[in-house]
Amino acid sequence: MAQLSSAQVDLLKEAHLAQLVTLMPDGSPQISPVWVDTDGSDILINTALGRVKSNNMERDARVAVGVYDAANGYDRVVNIRGHVTAITEEGANAHIDSLAKKYMGVDTYPLRNAAETRVIVRIAPDNITGR
């Protein structure tokens, strides 16, 4: 278990897109941009069941998350290797609304798809680098 610094928590709380890395069935890496949140210790992602990244994380908990500030990507960057500790439906709809507030400035996530089941993915950092 690795601990985020306060500067890294600040970076994660700002509205920068994160890159989430999951592992495909053959072990090769898959990358996609996601909204990101933290409680100060864990990384929280919100996605929907049935997507490639969701299926990958259900099969193999090992992930990576990278975030940088595009205005200062050399000094403000965090690279995390970690593992998924929980994928939960509870609170996931309220959580995507809070992320919509953070990233879009709106109170309600506007792209909600009633056919999808949203989930919160909790990621514990194992290794953290960054400047």
- Site residues, a second copy (CB under 8 A): 16-17, 19, 21-24, 27-33, 62-66, 68, 70-71, 73, 77, 79-81, 129
Half-sphere exposure in the Cβ direction for 33 (13 Å, CA): 5
CB of 92 to a second copy, least distance (A): 20
H/E element, 79: strand 77-88
- The smaller minimum CB distance to a second copy, of residues 49 and 77, is found at 77
Is the torsion defined by CA of 80, 111, 51, 84 positive or negative?
A: positive
Closest distance to a second copy from the beta carbon of 71 (Å): 8
- Is the Cβ of residue 9 or residue 128 nearer to a second copy in the bound state? 128
Give 44 or 90: the residue with its C-beta nearer to a second copy. Answer: 44
Instruction: Give yes or no for a contact between 63 and 125, defined as CB atoms under 8 angstroms apart.
Output: no
Q: How far is the CB of 95 from a second copy (least distance, A)?
A: 19
Given the structure tokens 């600040």, which residue do they identify? 10
